Amino acid sequence: MQIACLYDGEVTMARGTNQKLKLYYLVQIMLAKTDEEHSLTMPQIIQELGKYDITAERKSIYLDFDDMTDKLGIEIVKEQKGRETYYHVASREFELAEVKLLIDAIQSSKFITEKKSSALIRKIKKFVSEYQAKQLQRQVFVQGRIKTMNETIYYGVDDIHRAISENRKIRFKYYQWNIKKELVPRHNGDWITVSPWALTWDDENYYLVAYDGASGKCKHYRVDKMMKIEMLEEKREGKEIIDQFDMAAYAKATFGMYQGNKEKVQIQFPNRMCGVFIDRFGKDIIFHPTDEEHSVFSVDVNVSPQFFGWIFGLGKEVKVIGPESVVEQMRKAAEEFMENYEI
């Protein structure tokens, strides 16, 4: 309840205990309770502020609206509907469609745990009004999706970014799953020391691209399998190699981030399947027609069992036709595969 006080013959409203926070709470109220389809009248705004023990008069709120627009970039729109005047937020940091995209990315990301996905989505929904948040909730499906169980991955990514920023080496222990569904150390639990240069995304997993000084090569590691990451005092190595390293080309040429010998292969396919190869290798590949219904193209790939599996999965009309050494490797892989099904 608001209490009127008399000072020098003028009636004023008693100041609430949170008066200094009036602008802060006004911003929160307008962001949470208004959008393009939902507005508040001035009495409703004053009532909402009262819930935080804040008293306000129309004139002071008008001035606050000006500050919100000029200083905070939050535009308040005034609309007249009959005898009532309504106010709502016109623009936000993120549009509803952008928030939907962010939530979709979090939901579909396998490396973000179910628990962290729910927490991130709760935070992101604060960018929209409570009415829009309810609309988004109908699209949130986190439970039941395949998600990583390694909660430390977020801190690992942060540690790697910091090491890259500060030009320092890192060391870590690399793990793998065993048949008991336990993460166990690889390489006898020894520390792996590398120079981190980039993080990349492939097949729904984060990978670190690093220079291994011991072998003099660039290698990659799945971040969710990296544990106990520590930043070292030593400066990074391998800049001259990384400067010649094309990360985009590497990602396109590598299947499932499994390494193999790099070869320029020729692939023949029916024209109706051209989209499969454009999606995988990009629009820079050049198709050469072999007849009215088929074409062939050349592309650099890291030849590995995963590459063969990808080709097999496209069906018998897709063929690797060169070089002969790769064709022979595919033929051998197919024979070994069929041996599992001999009667």
pLDDT tens by residue, 188-230 = 999 999 999 988 877 667 889 899 999 988 888 988 889 999 9
Q: What residue segments make up the domains of the chain, in order of their start?
A: 4-89, 96-137, 153-245, 253-339
Cβ 292 vs Cβ 237: under 8 Å: no
Weakest-pLDDT range from 22-31, 62-71, 240-249, 264-273: 240-249
Domains 153-245 and 253-339 share a fold: no
What residues have CB less than 8 Å from 151, skipping those under 6 apart?
Answer: 113, 115, 116
Taking the domain 4-89, which CATH number applies?
1.10.10
On whether the CB atoms of residues 311 and 330 are closer than 8 A, the answer is yes
With contact defined as beta carbons under 8 Å apart, do 47 and 3 qualify?
no
What pLDDT is recorded for position 207? Answer: 85
**pLDDT given at position 10:** 40
Q: What is d(CA 24, CA 71) in angstroms, rounded to the nearest whole number?
A: 13
Contacts of 78 (CB under 8 A, 6+ apart): 85, 86, 87
pLDDT digits (tens, 9 = 90+) for 247-275: 666 665 555 545 667 889 999 999 988 88
Classified by CATH at the fold level, domain 253-339 comes out as Alpha-Beta Plaits (3.30.70)
Q: What's the pLDDT score for residue 155?
A: 82
68-82, 122-136, 246-260: range with lowest mean pLDDT = 246-260
> What is the architecture of the domain spanning 153-245?
Roll (2.30)
Q: For residue 5, is pLDDT > 50?
A: no
| Whether 338 contacts 312, CB under 8 Å | no
The residue type found at 118 is: S
Name the average pLDDT for the chain: 83
pTM of the predicted structure, to 2 decimals: 0.53
Yes or no: say if 218 and 211 are a contact pair by the CB < 8 Å rule.
yes
Whole-angstrom CA distances from 177 to 15, 156, 161, 181, 300 are 62, 19, 26, 6, 31
